[in-house]
Structure 1
């Protein structure tokens, strides 16, 4: 999907959407069979195959990272202070930062933190960054990027059964594991400076070796300022909320980021959400480090424990939670 965005403007995105969507929508299991001979297309929870479109790259055209390498924060000198990272803090383990400058180009990192196998995921088209436990029953899965989109969200696949998984909801939608849900783990996006200040002994994923990518550059320039998502034909959000406005999703509830930035902290429905300035958008300017400030959100319960959540675009929340609850200003 990145190759489509590398040199195009937001105006070109709209034109490309209009010219490619009908052709892509004609895809079906018979068309995909050669590329996916091990996927059981008889098992699916997708209402219509027209929901699944090609994003451009083929299977593994966007290469997931396995066995990522890490260094101490003092040994990292390339990441800008305001650049976003996904933070994973597991009790008893050294806190880890996964820079969005790498996840933008790879979208999935399969890692092992102590005894816990995790998949750290980021879908740029939905701004969705979620960390999953890779265990399903007694099986440990590893994930790759299928090259397909549904509601403009990345469709992942597991290499063990080649079932397809919807990244935004962590659920298999096609194949042997259809209907299986992954457990989401507490993680959050914050600036590199915030991670370092809180975790002076933390570690950070290093630049992947063997790939020619413009790490630190955003191939989706001005995407989060566009009017419509890429390859999306679903309903737009209610309440006049812009399609690419950021919302904080906790379960089936969504808090607009604008509300949090205005109020600083919101406590309701058993959730405490706090907002602080200092994190750059990964989907604004060409340089992520130079992009506009969108702030950092932490989501905790009343006891102060971090909760699984997602900071995603409003259209994606509405697409996957059409009956979801919009937590507007009270």
Structure 2
């Protein structure tokens, strides 16, 4: 996944910082949401550090069981199966997450849309490496895509779909949400120094490792993979990356990536990667794709002051750069 160097940097820094033996370093890993979640914790109390790591991993396992669209018994999958037939009562957690998704959809003018499930299937990116979409199937899939087809009723806490065949995909926000939930578990345990990663594409840096003023994270340069495009030092911040340079296929002399523009039904052109630094991981992950799709000018005009955005455009003469 894009951003794997972020994890490598965090792990390397953590290992370097642990020389000297104090405070205790604990770590753990779990497979969830199609990614490997990793947690590194520093704390003066070894038992507290271990408990915090284990509980954080339990939390992502819980969320995977609820929010995965690959697990047939998850609440997310049940919603996809049933909401076209009528309103479905959902948990407060799922309702609030989908409400957040719709808010991002509105604010991004439809560039973020969790109803892209049918598009991911016709382009072969659902459980696959991708292929050209059949024109007739693509036309049918586009009829099912659009966040306005998702109807929420806050009074009854129900969700329904406006038409049969609508299918929601949590891929653009689920990992970021899970990282934030894991972070809250660590904080409840009194942890003040930690590094959480969801497959490298979404991370959160809590505090700083011993002897440092932040977590050093390298951002990939898709044009020159042998060296990083930038290095940032994160402290109490998240970073998420969306990239077209690792998951794609070649057809008709073009590269087609898995990042879909819901408005056109096709992979978004013009960008190699976008990294977003934000206070919350759910926000950095959710906004990385709209910024990728909508490009430099729109991002400059609309990004909040609390966000930092790093773009690598698919132009030979355009270096990767921070968007001011």
Under TM normalisation by the shorter chain, which class is it? under 0.3
Larger-gyration structure (1/2): 2
Structure having the higher strand fraction is: 1
State the TM-score, normalizing by the size of structure 2: 0.27
Structure having the higher helix fraction is: 2
State the TM-score, normalizing by the size of structure 1: 0.27
